[in-house]
Amino acid sequence: MALRVRGRAWRLGDGISTDHIISGKFKYQKARLEEMLPYLLHEIIPDFYRKVKPGDVIVAGKGFGYGSSREHAARLLKMAGVGAVVAMSVHRIFYRNAVNVGLYIAISKNVPPATETGDIIIVDLDKGIVGNETKGIYERLPPLHPIVKELLEAGGLEGYVASRGKLPWEADNLTSHP
Amino acid sequence: MDELTLTEALLSMKLGNPPSPGEHVVVDVDLVYLHDGTFTLALEVLRRLGAERVFDRRKVLLFIDHAAPAPHLAAATTHLAMRRFARKHGVKLYDAGAGISHQVVAEEALAGPGDVVVGADSHTVTLGALGALATGFGSTDAAVAMASGRIWLRVPEPVKIVLSGEPPGWVMGKDIALALLGALGADGAIYSSLEIRGPALKAISMDSRLTIANMGVEAGAKYTLFPVDEVARAWMEARGRKVKPLSPGVRARYSDELVLDVSGLEPMVAKPPRPDNVASVSEVDGVEVDQVFIGSCTNGRVEDFHAAARILRGRRVRDGVRCIAVPASRRVYMELLRDGTLEVLAAAGCIVAHSTCGPCIGAHLGLLAEGEVAVSTSNRNMPGRMGHRESKVYLANPATAAAAAVTGRIIDPRTLLPRGVRLMEV
Ligand code: SF4
């Protein structure tokens, strides 16, 4: 599967936390992910789940995914149709969760500051490129760790196990990587 | 060995040889724990993977701590599923009232130096105060760790944090944690392993170390590690865990370094809307307060309530202010009950509740209405964290929180503390 997304930008600021993405108080009142969807990013963009189109890209500043380990945040973004997250830096638990659920992430210094909501963003993790087509700004991405790449190609960890019948690190591909 | 950082030394206890930062390794897991906020998703993942099992029933723990006892049906349903799972797989469940996961694991010394701990909660870093390689994971990682007993890790870059000077008597772990967070920023330590060291450490209690470790994740840290020094060793041995001293090597190399002189600290607060929005208490003097929350995995320990009681003894919570006091575990609750602290709190008009995360996360026990202001001893104050998105939360230490409860506004707690008092109980 090509790790490529092209879609409209939703520009968010610095420090977008998992509380912003799905607030704890909504999460604790709802048992199922589907029921939480209306509250996705609710504190910043009311009705985001209705406004977002498949393949849209979240473009954020520094420290995206800060806070709670709730994987619901990454899952709900994917469920709502978000194709990728482009941010200047991403907190580690969110990054891992995103990989585990097959949500693409690109860490980029130059694209977010130049991006406005509605710009066309491309994220190509195979070629290692992230860019804002509207503004004509492109940036190279470092190569993905082989495990991360395989998990994303399988649509996440569950997809990986379903197709290969094992966990990624049960293979011999877990060596150090530049 | 004298060129190993603490991170490398602890990881090599696991791996046999020291790894390099940035390397990916697969390790055996010593402890996995989940709570009622993250369990449901993990169970769904296990079922979809066709792997509903635990690798070792003694190494998996479940906690009902987030919304406990159940304030609504959704929580009740989750709790029931957890009880059934625990019974079926023979794993230990800490039911409602037992305490907040990180506190229970710490106070029972269920993790120790070099243990790889996978917690399905971001504040699992708290256990770094005991030298555990403990950090938070999402439900999928936790589910896989629970079923397979293994996890892959990227070895974090070590950052040296030197606490120098002598802490003044009223300084608590929270003030140090907030000062560090203010210096690092909310994304200043993403993927780093913060190694806390320095001459001030011998005067910093375990309760305060747990607070400092707890808040490392607010700067993005993967670990906040403390050496196994005399304070830590004595504390763990009192809980039945024999440990060897362990410190970073004198020639250890770090990717970054920060020095904080604790002798010059003021009581610190974090202003809304972010924990790294740090100021000294004098900068927010006079802010009016509707609710005070003393508790959470950050500041719900014995030392914390002793500090609050020093302010509240013989005083009253001001009319119009709710002061909610929630010990972080039953063990803390019992100790405070025995030593009379709970009576001081109750007599002052605090609402003393059973152990739960509750107010910290706006789950139950005192949500904030639109426009209300709270002082909380917890670790996060993002919009909507404790209630309405137009409510405001100031993070502070328990003495500052208690002073706000008494006066109805943010005030320097030193004005209400007896002279020469030491709040950290080493
Ligand atoms: S007390 Fe607050 S921060 Fe700690 S585990 Fe509970 S919800 Fe999380």
Write b or e for each residue in B292-324: b if 16 or more Cβ atoms lie within 10 A of its Cβ, otherwise e: bbbbbbbbbbbbbbbbbbbbbbebebbeebbbb
Judge: B274–A157 Cβ closer than 8 Å, yes or no. Answer: no
Which one is the CATH code of B156-265: 3.40.190.10, 3.40.630.10, 3.40.1060.10, 3.40.640.10?
3.40.1060.10
Q: Among B217, B221, B225, which Cα is nearest to B122's?
A: B217
Verify whether ligand 1 is closer than 6 Å to residue B96 (CB atom). no
* Nearest residue to B112 (alpha-carbon basis) of B235, B266, B16, B284: B235
Residue B357 near ligand 1, beta carbon < 6 Å: yes
| Ramachandran angles phi, psi of B93, nearest 5° | -115, 125
* Cα of B4 vs its chain's centroid, Å: 27
Q: Given a cut of 60, is residue A140 above it in pLDDT?
A: yes
B134 near A CB under 8 A: no
Residue at token pair 């409209």: A8
Inter-chain contact B138–A100, Cβ cutoff 8 Å? yes
Two tokens, residue B311: 């302010």
| Closest residue, chain B, to A62 (C-alpha) | B187
Report the number of distinct structural domains present in chain A: 1
Question: If we measure between CA atoms, which residue out of A32, A61, A29, A31 comes closest to residue A44?
Answer: A61
Instruction: Round to whole Å and give the CA distance between B144 and B141.
Output: 5
What pLDDT score does A171 carry? 53
Residues of B numbered 234-253 whose beta carbons fall under 8 angstroms of chain A's beta carbons: which are they? none
DSSP string, B344-368: HHHHTT-EE--S-SGGGGTSSS-PB
Of the pLDDT bands very low, low, confident and very high (cuts 50, 70, 90), residue A27 is low
Predicted pLDDT at B1: 64
Output the pLDDT for position A178.
31
Judged against a pLDDT cut of 70, whether residue A174 lies above it is answered with: no
Is A178 domain-assigned? Answer: no
The pLDDT score that the predictor gives to residue B2 is: 86
Q: Which residues pair with B277 in a beta bridge?
A: none
For residue A24, what pLDDT band results from cuts at 50, 70 and 90?
confident
Domain boundaries in chain B? Answer: 29-153, 156-265, 269-415
Q: Which residues pair with A114 in a beta bridge?
A: none
Does any CB of chain A come closer than 8 Å to the CB of residue B38?
yes
Which regions of chain B are under pLDDT 50?
A: none
Do A92 and B137 make contact, defined as CB atoms within 8 angstroms? no
Is the confidence at residue A176, as pLDDT, over 50? Answer: no
**pLDDT tier for residue A168 given thresholds of 50, 70 and 90:** confident
Q: Compute, in angstroms, the gap from residue B344 CA to the centroid of ligand 1.
A: 25
Q: The CATH number of the domain where A78 resides is what?
A: 3.20.19.10
Kindly tell me if the per-residue pLDDT of A173 is higher than 60.
no
Q: CB-based burial of residue A109 (10 Å sphere; 0-12 exposed, 13-18 middle, 19+ buried)?
A: exposed
d(CA B211, CA B127): 10
Q: Taking 60 as the threshold, does the pLDDT of residue A166 lie above it?
A: yes
Q: How confident is the model at residue A165 (pLDDT cuts 50, 70, 90)?
A: confident
Q: Would B29-153 and B156-265 be classified into the same CATH topology?
A: no
Does residue A79 lie in a domain region? yes
Q: Do B144 and A157 touch (CB under 8 A)?
A: yes
A151: helix, strand or coil? helix
- CATH fold label, B29-153: Aconitase; domain 3 (3.30.499)
Residue A33 lies in a domain: yes
Could you tell me the pTM of the whole model? 0.96
Buried/exposed code over B13-38 (b: 16+ C-beta within 10 A; e: otherwise):
bbbeebbebeebbebebbbbbbbbbb
> Which residue among B41, B75, B136 sits closest to A28, beta carbon to beta carbon?
B75
Question: What does the pLDDT average to over A95-115?
Answer: 97
User: Taking Cα atoms as reference points, which of B41, B34, B79, B347 lies closest to residue A22?
Assistant: B41
Residue A70 domain boundaries: 4-164
Q: Please tell me which of the candidates A93, A145, A174 has its beta carbon nearest to residue B138.
A: A93
Q: Is the pLDDT of residue A31 over 80?
A: no
When the pLDDT of each residue in chain B is averaged and rounded to a whole number, the result is: 96
Report the percent of chain A where pLDDT is more than 70.
93
Domain formed by B269-415, architecture = 2-Layer Sandwich (3.30)
CB B52 within 8 A of CB B98: no
Region of A39 please: left (phi>0), alpha (psi -120 to 50) or beta: alpha
